[in-house]
């Protein structure tokens, strides 16, 4: 483990933190992903009532993944920095 | 049998060679040729001591021992030392109470051992908090503010002192009185105490043998000065800081919970709002009243919130840091200013509890170390308020979920470090949190806490995954409900 002055000197010359997804894009990502998830969820409710349908599973999965990223972006947009 | 023999041998060796300085006599390897202590009084006492020392031996000459009396030790919150003419500070190590003389020992490690006959001047700066007390202890809201400062007239030192002086500088030239005991007057070379403007000089005093000994009683040599104070005397009784890191939002949120107290003479009688408004209007407010506070926030701060137990406090003004360009940018980032006005003006002895918080881009505090694949975060220990002591501080740093290989580097030795798990929005396993507890802090303790940590990519995806699983559960509930017949059949 480095000493305090070593860490201090290292900190002074390293590049700053940069997120993978730029924060300025987060509101648009939130809007796009959440509305896509909502529309897919709506489509899920219109699907016929067969006992087992691969289409239902597929739609649910895609909507959930979109909702996952959309909700995280939504939280950050509203100032709850998760 | 063999282990017993080993332990006996170890004990014998330890008894024969007493290694710890607090349990042995300090070697007389230096002589203080001139000691000048200058105390600048504000709401804290800033002591600048200059020790001109001459080496008397060629052994034991690399460490200079500084001793403080019990009264000094109770109030001293910060000590730093450097050699006159040299750049960079010297290491000051607190050793604790000396077993024989009961003085508190500090070891100043010199840059290189001082050969016999050579001289050196050490500049020792210290900050004393709560070193003055108001006299009288009670005052109305119109009265002036007088305080008393007491100090050891003779410096406590394990070395012989040839000449010494104590200079006390009051914040205003209005020094009501100063007291020098007769025992100390006898030791003066010519004038025992001289007042010139706002400065009272005690001394110079004649040569003294080592005073940090068992037989020497420093109490008959204590001096005091009674002066007028025109600066607000604010104390932060406790500060609880929470710093939360977010990688998805690239944000560092810092929240400070303050309990502050006005250390002016306690309010005598009732608080008259009418008199207060009139004095504000006429701009003749007594210095015992604190109507507002000002905090310097980092330059990228935004979304500042200020509330107390009643709710949001709207009497505040936030001035974000101006956009620096050209020469101003090269000088460094400007501070943003937050002016806070508590719900009520703080009269003498009154407390106020409030919470302040702000968000700042993580790029200002976090750095990416490509070589080791880790992030380094720097969080300031506290936001310094000018000349304000902080009696108790707890700093909590909350790292992103799934952080591993964490190393912490506090700026000074803290009393206690704790590790815990903090659970907040969209968390599954919880976030690692580190608590640092410290006491008796001053505005000089605003160094950075450096924390390095790694976050694997899988840990980054834990949050969207948690929401995905939650929505899949909702979908499966909907799927089940679609196939359940809930109609009422005949």
Is A3 strand, coil or helix?
coil
Q: Diameter of chain A by CA atoms?
A: 67
The CATH number corresponding to B234-464 among 3.40.50.1380, 1.10.3210.10, 3.40.640.10, 2.60.40.1730 equals 2.60.40.1730
DSSP at B320: P
User: Where in chain B are the domains?
Assistant: 2-228, 234-464
Mutation site for A-interface testing, chosen from B475, B477, B480, B485 by largest number of A Cβ within 10 Å? B475
Distances (CA, A) of A19 to B125, B193, B246: 43, 64, 10
ipTM: 0.94
Residue among B403, B411, B454, B453 at smallest CA distance from B436: B411
| Residue A6 maps to a domain | no
Please report residues of B whose CB lies closer than 8 A to that of A27: none
Angle between the N-to-C axes of helices A54-77 and B462-482, in degrees from 0 to 180, rounded to the nearest 10: 140
Is B334 strand, coil or helix?
coil
Closest chain B residue by Cα to residue A69:
B464
| Residue A30 maps to a domain | yes
DSSP at B22: G
The C-alpha atoms of residue B379 and residue B55 are separated, in whole angstroms, by 42
Report the pLDDT value the prediction gives residue A49, as an integer from 0 to 100.
79
CB contact under 8 A, A51 and B483: yes
Report the pLDDT value the prediction gives residue B162, as an integer from 0 to 100.
93
Distances (CA, A) of B112 to B56, B58, B67, B95, B457: 15, 12, 21, 20, 49
Distances (CA, A) of B249 to A26, A71, B209: 8, 12, 64
Closest chain B residue by Cα to residue A61:
B472
Neighbours of B16 (CB within 10 A): 7
Angle between the N-to-C axes of helices A54-77 and A26-46, in degrees from 0 to 180, rounded to the nearest 10: 150
Please indicate if any CB of chain A lies within 8 Å of the CB of B374: no
Report the pLDDT value the prediction gives residue B356, as an integer from 0 to 100.
97
Please indicate if any CB of chain A lies within 8 Å of the CB of B482: yes
> If you write DSSP's letter for every residue of B275-310 in order, what string do you get?
HHHHHHHTT---TT-B--EEEEE-TT-EEEEEE-SS
Q: In what order do the strands lie in the sheet with B336-340?
A: B293-297, B336-340, B316-319
The C-alpha atoms of residue B382 and residue B403 are separated, in whole angstroms, by 24
CB contact under 8 A, B475 and A67: no
The C-alpha atoms of residue B144 and residue A78 are separated, in whole angstroms, by 49
CB contact under 8 A, B471 and A68: yes
Q: Per-block average pLDDT, block size 10, for chain B (490 residues)?
A: 67 57 84 94 94 90 91 92 90 88 91 90 95 91 91 92 94 92 89 91 90 87 92 94 95 96 91 88 83 92 94 93 66 83 92 96 93 95 92 96 94 93 92 95 93 94 95 92 84
Supply the range of the domain harboring residue A64: 22-77
CB contact under 8 A, A23 and B250: yes
Please report residues of B whose CB lies closer than 8 A to that of A7: 376, 409, 450, 452
The C-alpha atoms of residue A81 and residue B5 are separated, in whole angstroms, by 62
Report the pLDDT value the prediction gives residue B25, as an integer from 0 to 100.
83
Please indicate if any CB of chain B lies within 8 Å of the CB of A35: no
CB pairs A-B closer than 8 Å: 122
B residues 313..372 contacting A (CB < 8 A): 359, 361-369
Closest chain A residue by Cα to residue B470:
A64
Gap from A23 CA to chain B (nearest CA, Å): 6
Region at B349 (left for phi over 0; alpha for psi -120 to 50; beta for the rest): left
**pTM score:** 0.88
Neighbours of A44 (CB within 10 A): 19
Please indicate if any CB of chain B lies within 8 Å of the CB of A48: no
B residues 235..274 contacting A (CB < 8 A): 244, 246-251, 253
Q: Is the peptide bond before B136 cis (omega within 30 degrees of 0)?
A: yes
Distances (CA, A) of B298 to A4, B358, B360: 22, 10, 8
CB contact under 8 A, A23 and B472: no
The C-alpha atoms of residue B60 and residue B48 are separated, in whole angstroms, by 26
Please report residues of A whose CB lies closer than 8 A to that of B464: 65, 68-69, 71-72
Token pair 């940590």 in the structure block, residue? B453
Query: Angle at the Cα of B427 (from B478 to B408), degrees rounded to 5?
Result: 170
The C-alpha atoms of residue B42 and residue B229 are separated, in whole angstroms, by 8
| Residue A56 maps to a domain | yes
Partner residue opposite B409 with nearest CB, options A7, A51, A76: A7
Partner residue opposite A80 with nearest CB, options B363, B368, B425: B425
Please report residues of B whose CB lies closer than 8 A to that of A42: none
The C-alpha atoms of residue B56 and residue B107 are separated, in whole angstroms, by 18
Calculate the dihedral angle through the C-alpha atoms of B397, B400, B405, B406, rounding to the nearest 10 degrees.
Answer: -10
Gap from A32 CA to chain B (nearest CA, Å): 15
Please indicate if any CB of chain B lies within 8 Å of the CB of A79: yes
Please indicate if any CB of chain B lies within 8 Å of the CB of A8: yes
Partner residue opposite B463 with nearest CB, options A17, A64, A82: A82
Partner residue opposite A7 with nearest CB, options B359, B450, B482: B450
Would you say the CATH fold of B234-464 matches that of B2-228?
yes
Q: Diameter of chain B by CA atoms?
A: 117
Please indicate if any CB of chain B lies within 8 Å of the CB of A52: no
pLDDT tens for each residue of A30-68: 999 999 999 999 999 998 878 778 888 999 999 999 999
Please report residues of A whose CB lies closer than 8 A to that of B89: none
CB contact under 8 A, A14 and B369: yes
Task: Quote the tokens at residue B93.
Answer: 């190590």
Neighbours of B93 (CB within 10 A): 13
**How many structural domains is chain A composed of?**
1
Distances (CA, A) of A56 to A60, B78, B465: 6, 68, 20
Cross-strand pairs, B408: B451
Domain B2-228 has CATH 3.40.50.300: no
Partner residue opposite B426 with nearest CB, options A51, A63, A72: A72
Gap from B463 CA to chain A (nearest CA, Å): 7
Region at A79 (left for phi over 0; alpha for psi -120 to 50; beta for the rest): left
CB contact under 8 A, B476 and A60: yes
Report the pLDDT value the prediction gives residue B392, as an integer from 0 to 100.
95
Closest chain A residue by Cα to residue B364:
A16
Query: Angle at the Cα of B266 (from B264 to B267), degrees rounded to 5?
Result: 115
């Amino acid at each position: 483990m480095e000493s305090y002055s070593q860490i201090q000197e290292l900190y002074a010359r390293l590049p700053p933190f940069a997120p993978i997804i730029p924060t300025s894009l987060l509101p648009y990502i939130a809007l796009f992903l959440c509305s896509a998830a909502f529309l897919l969820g709506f489509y899920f409710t219109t699907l016929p009532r067969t006992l087992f349908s691969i289409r239902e599973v597929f739609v649910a999965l895609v909507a959930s993944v979109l909702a996952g990223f959309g909700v995280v972006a939504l939280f950050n947009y509203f100032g709850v920095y998760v | 049998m063999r282990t017993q023999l080993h332990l006996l041998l170890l004990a014998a060796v330890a008894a024969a060679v007493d290694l710890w300085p607090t349990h042995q006599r300090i070697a007389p390897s230096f002589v203080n040729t001139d000691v000048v202590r200058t105390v600048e009084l504000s709401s804290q006492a800033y002591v600048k001591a200059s020790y001109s020392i001459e080496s008397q031996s060629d052994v034991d000459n690399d460490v200079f021992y500084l001793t403080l009396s019990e009264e000094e030790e109770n109030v001293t919150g910060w000590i730093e030392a450097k050699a006159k003419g040299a750049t960079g500070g010297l290491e000051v190590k607190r050793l604790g109470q000396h077993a024989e003389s009961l003085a508190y020992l500090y070891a100043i490690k010199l840059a290189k051992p001082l050969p016999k006959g050579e001289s050196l001047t050490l500049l020792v700066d210290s900050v004393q908090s709560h070193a003055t007390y108001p006299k009288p202890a009670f005052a109305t809201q119109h009265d002036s503010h007088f305080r008393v400062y007491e100090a050891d007239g003779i410096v406590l030192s394990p070395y012989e002192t040839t000449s010494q002086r104590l200079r006390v500088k009051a914040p205003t030239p209005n020094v009501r009185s100063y007291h020098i005991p007769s025992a100390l007057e006898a030791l003066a070379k010519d004038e025992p105490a001289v007042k010139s403007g706002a400065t009272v000089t005690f001394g110079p005093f004649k040569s003294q043998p080592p005073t940090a000994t068992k037989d020497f009683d420093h109490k008959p040599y204590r001096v005091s000065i009674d002066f007028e104070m025109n600066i607000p005397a604010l104390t932060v009784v406790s500060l609880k800081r929470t710093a939360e890191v977010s990688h998805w939002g690239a944000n560092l949120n810092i929240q400070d919970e303050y309990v502050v107290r006005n250390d002016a003479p306690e309010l005598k009688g009732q608080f008259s709002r009418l008199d207060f408004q009139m004095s504000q209007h006429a701009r003749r407010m007594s210095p015992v009243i604190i109507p507002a506070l000002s905090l310097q926030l980092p330059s990228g701060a935004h979304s500042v919130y200020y509330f107390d137990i009643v709710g949001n406090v709207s009497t505040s003004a936030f001035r974000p840091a101006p956009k620096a360009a050209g020469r101003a940018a090269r000088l460094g980032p400007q501070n943003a200013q937050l002016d806070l006005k508590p719900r009520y003006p703080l009269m003498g002895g009154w407390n106020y509890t409030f919470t302040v918080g702000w968000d700042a881009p993580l790029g200002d505090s976090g750095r990416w170390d490509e070589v080791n694949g880790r992030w380094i975060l720097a969080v300031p220990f506290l936001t310094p308020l000018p000349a304000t002591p902080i009696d108790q501080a707890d700093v909590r740093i909350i790292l992103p979920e799934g952080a591993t290989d964490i190393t912490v580097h506090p700026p000074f030795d803290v009393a206690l470090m704790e590790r815990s798990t903090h659970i907040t929005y969209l968390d599954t396993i919880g976030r690692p949190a580190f608590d640092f507890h410290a006491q008796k802090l001053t505005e000089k303790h605003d160094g950075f806490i450096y924390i390095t940590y790694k976050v694997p990519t899988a840990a980054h995806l834990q949050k969207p995954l948690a929401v995905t699983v939650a929505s899949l559960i909702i979908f499966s509930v909907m799927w089940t409900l679609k196939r359940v017949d809930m109609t009422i059949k005949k």
